[in-house]
Amino acid sequence: MSTNRPVVVLAEELSPATVEALGPDFEIRQSDGTDRDRLAADLADAHALMVRSATTVDAEVLAQAPRLKVVARAGVGLDNVDISAATEAGVMVVNAPTSNIVSAAELTCAHILGLARNIPPATAALKAGEWKRSKYAGLELQDKVLGVIGLGRIGGLVAERMKAFGMEIVAYDPYVTSARAHQLGAQLLSLEELYERADVVTIHMPKTPETLGMLGAAAFERMKDSAYVVNVARGGLVDEDALEQALQAGSIGGAAIDVYASEPSTHLPFFSRENVVVTPHLGASTAEAQEKAGVSVAKSVRLALAGELVPDA
Ligand code: MLT
């Protein structure tokens, strides 16, 4: 049923706080961003589109939304939104760049601890009736080296938190000064040095043509045979075929992966390995992060649809 209120399409499940923050002035329409035909139909008279990471907002989608004024990404990354196509179509793009950084950092730390102490495989074994204490003996993190690739908002939080476990933090980030790294308790190294020294390598880079496949065969070859690799950042930063080969060859010790080159992904070869922990893109999936992200972009949508200036989040 159509009303005279501007239409806001939610292409994914967003927190109840998002809808509350939008208020009563809009017609809110729940859609499904993974179903392109349904999304196109729902966007035909829409003024705003709100998404998380599962909806691809490209030129084709934008062409089906002639009244669209704003695309809001309830999260940090914008790699599922074609910004140049949106700019060309005169559609504003907003996001919530700090909303889920704590949640993403905490999941990274959880993965590091889970890998070091074999928590996921030991849980699975015990639930299957197997009491195997020596099989799941782990690694103490104190005095081990954490290599953080990308010492920005999330990488910095990970560094600070893992420092509290007594880890030595080394980092690679061409955009960070040694003074800033020092403030975070980290020492800047070249990528090659980081690979050689780190017991755990965690990546926190955006997905760009330069970072795609950054953790690939050459990187794994340089790492210690015991190194753990963690990716809670973006699918595609880790070359999945090279990861499988490195695990197969034993040239790294294990991996924890939250994001995939193609999502949803449920059947990658390394999923069955005991030294691999996988989660389904849960970095931002906490009540707190979803509330912050939803409320922040809901405010931006309100401003954009009122023709007001949208401040940088
Ligand atoms: C982000 O970029 O902030 C996350 O991927 C958001 C999400 O999980 O939808």
Task: List the residue whose alpha carbon is closest to atom 4 of ligand 1.
Answer: 75
Structure tokens at 77: 């990354």
pTM exceeds cut of 0.90: yes
294 membership: H or E segment, kind and range: helix 287-305
In this prediction, residue 158 carries a pLDDT of: 98
Q: What ipTM score was computed for the predicted complex, to two decimals?
A: 0.92
CA of 79 to the centre of ligand 1 (A): 10
Q: What are the helix (H) ranges across 97-216?
A: 101-116, 119-127, 153-163, 178-183, 191-197
Of 200, 197, 239, the residue nearest 218 (C-alpha): 239
Which of 53, 98, 205 has most ligand 1 atoms within 8 Å of CB, for mutation? 53
> pLDDT of 53-63, one tens digit each?
999 999 999 99
- Give the domains, in start order, of the chain with CATH numbers: 7-99+287-305 (3.40.50.720), 101-278 (3.40.50.720)
Q: Indicate if ligand 1 lies below 6 Å from the C-beta of 77.
A: yes
> pLDDT of 161-213, one tens digit each?
999 999 999 999 999 999 999 999 999 999 999 999 999 999 999 999 999 99
Q: Between residues 4 and 294, which one has the greater pLDDT?
A: 294
Q: How confident is the model at residue 224 (pLDDT cuts 50, 70, 90)?
A: very high
In this prediction, residue 1 carries a pLDDT of: 53
